[in-house]
């Protein structure tokens, strides 16, 4: 058997096209041309594999034109013979992770070949695509590039050689929800008692049925004297002034915007829009108050039911936005609200 043939997918940054200003780069293919992290990947593969083509696509272009981007990529590689398709590593870059997951899934379904990518566990691409394709547990930033590429290379070679793929904890990929029958020396009852005894002795043990862990957020106390309170409006529905001055992304937002509504009693069509890419915007474009109810809040303010509507709104896009980004938005917005004496906030979604 000769060298394995690999096709490698990267975004515009790691494909040496450019940064965020080049994120609208349309898909291109470089046959027999290895760029970016692919050079290290090919070096690590040594005599076992080589990259026959590199696909490069901008993160924003892919996010806003996913179906078209996938079709174009499939057409680009349709005549090529290859053994494994590799994407990433995407770390905690949400748009990149979503693209890596989507491309891998599409290539696997279309060509029936092995695919693998790598990303951080909190990347939205991991949650969406880990059940469909192999996603290796990667680091949170490019500081982990070398070790993530090493894992990607080893796993890709293993796939290409049709070797046995073990359990997620053995191989380092994210669980896919697949149950497999295995033989153990001890019955389940005895293993359960062993784990219980270890737990009672405060000894380390590994559960055979890990349960999901959810963050516990203590509810804030009720706003006192609501008739004197300053209330703010916050939305993850993507409502922004026309032109999207802060260039908030349609998916996997990396920022939020703060906009003045002083002397505004109604969010007027064409003056405010939504940039959210995860729902049909028709009704919101007709009346942005349907997602961000400034009109109703002004009426409540006029009737004296609240002290005042805060003269700024905060807006971002919740569509596949990473948890870490959302937590950062929350902290920054919360600090700004406290600094401005805001008593409470209403968070609207879609």
Q: 102-115: per-residue pLDDT in tens?
A: 999 999 999 999 99
Residue 349 scores a pLDDT above 90? no
Q: Among 108, 138, 171, where does a domain finish?
A: 171
User: Is residue 204 a part of any domain in this protein?
Assistant: no
pLDDT band of 1, cuts 50, 70, 90? low
Residue range 138-165: mean pLDDT, rounded: 93
> What is the spatial distance between Cα 79 and Cα 119, in angstroms, rounded to a whole number?
29
The total domain count for the chain is 2
Are 18 and 136 in the same domain? yes
Q: Judge if 25 and 167 occupy the same domain.
A: yes
Q: What is the mean pLDDT of residues 318-327?
A: 82
Residue 245 binned pLDDT confidence (cut-offs 50, 70, 90): very high
By C-alpha distance, which of 217, 206, 230, 218 is closest to 345? Answer: 230
Per the domain annotation, does 129 fall within a domain? yes
In a domain, 219, yes or no: no
pTM beyond cutoff 0.75: no
Instruction: Indicate which CATH number applies to the domain containing 64.
Output: 3.40.50.2300
The count of other CB atoms within 10 Å of the CB of residue 158 is 17
Domain C-terminal end among 152, 171, 190: 171
**Shortest CA distance to 309 belongs to which of 348, 258, 255, 260?**
260
Domain that holds residue 95: 4-171
Residue 100, pLDDT above cutoff 90: yes
- 180 assigned to some structural domain: no
In this prediction, what percent of the chain has a pLDDT beyond 70?
Answer: 100
Q: In 10 A of CB 27, how many CB atoms?
A: 22
């Amino acid at each position: 058997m000769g060298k394995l043939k690999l096709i490698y997918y990267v975004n515009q940054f790691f494909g040496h096209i450019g940064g965020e200003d080049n994120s609208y780069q349309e898909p291109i293919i470089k046959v027999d041309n290895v760029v970016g992290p692919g050079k290290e990947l090919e070096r690590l593969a040594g005599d076992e594999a080589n990259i026959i083509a590199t696909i490069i696509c901008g993160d924003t272009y892919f996010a806003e034109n996913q179906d078209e981007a996938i079709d174009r990529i499939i057409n680009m590689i349709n005549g090529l013979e290859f053994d494994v398709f590799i994407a990433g590593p995407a770390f905690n870059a949400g748009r990149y992770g979503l693209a890596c997951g989507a491309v891998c899934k599409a290539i696997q379904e279309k060509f029936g070949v092995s695919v693998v990518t790598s990303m951080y566990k909190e990347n939205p691409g991991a949650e969406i695509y880990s059940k469909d394709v192999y996603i290796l547990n990667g680091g949170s930033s490019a500081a982990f590039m070398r070790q993530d590429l090493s894992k990607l290379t080893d796993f890709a070679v293993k796939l290409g050689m049709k070797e046995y793929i073990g359990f997620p904890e053995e191989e380092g990929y994210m669980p896919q929800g697949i149950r497999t029958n295995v033989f153990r020396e001890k019955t389940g009852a005895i293993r359960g008692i062993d784990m219980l005894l270890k737990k009672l002795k405060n000894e380390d043990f590994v559960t055979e049925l890990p349960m999901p862990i959810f963050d516990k957020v203590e509810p804030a106390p009720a706003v006192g004297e609501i008739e004197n309170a300053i209330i703010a409006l916050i939305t993850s529905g993507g409502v922004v002034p026309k032109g999207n001055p802060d260039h908030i992304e349609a998916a996997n937002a990396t920022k939020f915007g703060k906009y003045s509504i002083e002397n505004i009693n109604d969010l007027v069509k064409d003056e405010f829009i939504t940039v959210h890419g995860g729902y049909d915007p028709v009704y919101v474009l007709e009346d942005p108050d349907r997602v961000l109810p400034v009109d109703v809040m002004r009426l409540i303010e006029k009737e004296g039911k609240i002290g005042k509507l805060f003269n700024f709104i905060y807006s971002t896009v919740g569509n596949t936005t990473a948890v870490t980004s959302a937590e950062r938005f929350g902290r920054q917005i919360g600090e700004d609200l406290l600094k401005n004496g805001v008593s409470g906030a209403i968070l609207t979604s879609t």
